[in-house]
Chain A
Amino acid sequence: MSIDRRQFLKIAGISSLLGIGATAASATHNVWIKGIEPPQVEPGKEALTAEHWAMVVDMSKFKTEEDIKKAVSACHTTHNVPDFGNIKDEIKWIWKEKYESAFPDQENPYMEEKIKEMPFIVLCNHCENPACVRVCPTQATFKRKQDGIVMMDMHRCIGCRFCMAACPYGARSFNYRDPRPFIKNENKEYPTRTKGVVEKCTFCTERLAVGKIPACVEAAPKGGLIFGDLADRNSEIRKIVETRYTIRRKAELGTGPSVYYLIGGNEHA
């Protein structure tokens, strides 16, 4: 999806007429000059770029629950993810699941107890063939051409939740009510959302644009989350995926998830 100045003005104009486009107007000055899409941050000189952003989760590096909590809360505080304190309204971008939930149908009764009980980090897989993007009736969720990140345009989303039905990973959350009163310490650098739209992990596009690695990667134990360009033969992530045995969640569905898991916990795994 690309957009020119004319189209953008059309969208911004009509959405402001409908009284919903307050932020669309403020993003204008970047968007039409650089030809980037409305929800994106204009990349600076120091921006990190890639052809195919991907992540390896090395479970051996997460020693305690605390290690996981750090990564999760770094993401949720950075992105103003609200905490409602109940499952029904729950919104989450990155969280932990047991092996049997993260990899259903791949467990066996004789598995090592440690792996069975180990909390696995799960998040949006930024799929190569994202089902959520295929079903969205307004292109409010779309795959960024330059680096494969699956993004959300919060100002275009109509809240039909087709993407939530389509995502095989349960990676998407819906704002069932106004999230703002439930954000403990609002990060003024990142927008909050309104009720009635879907949201999810964005691989921290706003941080990549200013040369920072994703918040969860920064907060995780060293080497726990490896983030990089899978298309680059010399990148660390590519070397790991080439030399170690990794698994992906529900790869059999053909979605092409970009998050890989190292499970074994030792070099020979």
Chain B
Amino acid sequence: MLEKALVGSKKYWVWVAFLGFFALSGLYYYLQQFKYGLGLTGLSRDVSWGLYIGQFTFLVGVAASAVMLVIPHYLHDYKKFSKIVILGEFLAIAAVTMCILFIFVDMGQPMRIMNVVLHPTLNSVMFWDSVVLSGYLFLNLMIGWVTLSSDRKGVAPPKWIKPLIYLSVPWAVSIHTVTAFLYAGLPGRHFWLSAVMAARFLASAFAGGPALLIILALIVRKVTKFDPGKEPIQTLGVIVTYAMFANVFLLGLEFFTAFYSNIPGHMESFKYLYAGLHGHNELVPMMWTSSIFALVSLVMLLIPSIRRNEVTLSFACIMLFISLWIDKGFGLIIGGFVPNMMNQIRPYWPTRQESIITLGVWAIGFLILTFLYKIAVSVREETAGVEIEH
């Protein structure tokens, strides 16, 4: 099936070249970073994780969100998803690949990456995160490939794939739970030391991932002959609405605990992010943009007529995605480091090189996504009209 990614229209190749340009720019600056060190980024001894780890965290959520298609389709036999479940699984593959790349570009000694395997350390959450992420990548590659090949041949997928599909459900939950545990178990980082962290991560993932999928499905319909269908998109819209509601609710819980308890350590990061602290308000405009986008998109999704209109639905999804990206891909990480352990404010802002490397990784992810979607869409176009039970 791979050959299907190698044939395409002129538009297809222009898009691939566009992404390729950003991927190569990222690679160029990564080689500079490789030579000079992470000093090329805006990181410091006070804010030691930044944009890279933020993207990693956010994309683990996007990857996990495939489960929002797998559960209705495979556990509840919701037939309407049979055409687009592959889009979710392939999105997960691209997202996990980006996660791995973001971890890689964040490492001080990337050539020693195999040390994680050579010295497996069961008490380190990072060890478990690498285990669950690579497992999830494997599961989605297997499931996506096997089911799509069967579709192409017009046969039902082999029985042995079913256990893997069922396994992928708790596995998806595990990747984001373990990622939350990277943060939620550290003494002294009050902003992260929250029992609802994993729940928040899952809620925001199940809102942001399907929102992106809605946008992608609409693009697929526009640029190809494959129509993912109106109803599956509407069902996804409902899923996004519930998940976003849970996410906003959980964030509200964090605010309550911090401010009603009035414990300075718990309040300070929130103050820094949303109001500014000791004259530092670098992130305030971003965080308010995130909050406003979150509320506006939630209200839009809650109004049935707006949600049912695909144009307004896609606007709501874009706002929601940006909101969650700011909140989880940036604010969540930086807020944990500011103020620092000495209660001082040392602001962080990504450098130009760091931003281009980040863009480069996204471009590689979207290249993978483009190839995978091209394959899936070509198969769908071939088998249009043929319905297969699985």
Contact = CB atoms under 8 A, between A and B. Distances in A.
B111 A160 contact: no
Contacts of B337: 165
Contacts of B304: none
B46 A137 contact: no
A166 B112 contact: no
B213 to A, nearest CB: 31
Interface string B26-44: 0000000000111101111
B105 to A, nearest CB: 11
Contacts of B119: 138-139, 156
21 contacts: A87-B44, A89-B39, A91-B45, A101-B344, A135-B126, A136-B121, A137-B116, A138-B118, A138-B121, A140-B115, A158-B110, A158-B113, A159-B109, A160-B107, A165-B186, A168-B189, A169-B188, A170-B341, A175-B108, A194-B109, A196-B37
Given A87-B346, A156-B112, A176-B37, A162 B124 contact: yes
B107 to A, nearest CB: 5
Contact of A20 (B37, B109, B340): B109
A124 B38 CA distance: 23
Interface string A148-175: 0000000011111110111111101111
B261 interface: no
Q: Which 8 A-B pairs have the closest CB atoms?
A: A159-B108, A168-B188, A196-B108, A176-B39, A170-B341, A177-B39, A195-B37, A101-B342
B124 A137 contact: yes
A22 B157 CA distance: 52
B38 A196 contact: yes
B9 interface: no
Nearest to A162: B126
Contacts of A167: 188, 341
Interface of B: 36-39, 41-46, 48-49, 103, 106-116, 118-119, 121, 123-127, 130, 182-183, 186-189, 264-265, 336-337, 340-344, 346
A165 B343 CA distance: 14
A154 to B, nearest CB: 10
A269 interface: no
Contact of A105 (B41, B127, B189, B264): B264
Contacts of A136: 121, 124
Nearest to B113: A158
A94 to B, nearest CB: 14
Contact of A165 (B115, B118, B336): B336
Contacts of B108: 157-161, 174-175, 195-198
Interface residues of A, number: 57
A249 B362 CA distance: 42
Interface in A111-142: 131, 134-140
B187 A168 contact: yes
Nearest to B342: A101
Contacts of B42: 88
Contacts of A175: 37, 108
B186 A131 contact: yes
Interface stretch (A11-19, A27-35, A66-74): A11-19
A15 B44 CA distance: 28
Contacts of B110: 158-159
Nearest to A104: B343
B44 A165 contact: no
Given A101-B342, A176-B39, A14 B118 contact: yes
Given A136-B121, A174-B38, A196 B107 contact: yes
Nearest to B119: A138
Contacts of A255: 187
A153 B283 CA distance: 36
Contacts of A104: 264-265, 342-343
B107 A158 contact: yes
B48 A137 contact: no
A125 to B, nearest CB: 11
Given A156-B115, A162-B124, A170-B340, A176 B38 contact: yes
Contact of B45 (A101, A135, A172, A194): A172
A127 to B, nearest CB: 10
A265 interface: no
A196 B46 CA distance: 16
A97 interface: yes
A162 B107 contact: no
Nearest to A252: B187
Interface in A68-105: 87-92, 97, 100-102, 104-105
Contacts of B112: 15, 18, 20, 138, 156-159
Contacts of A102: 342
A170 B46 contact: yes
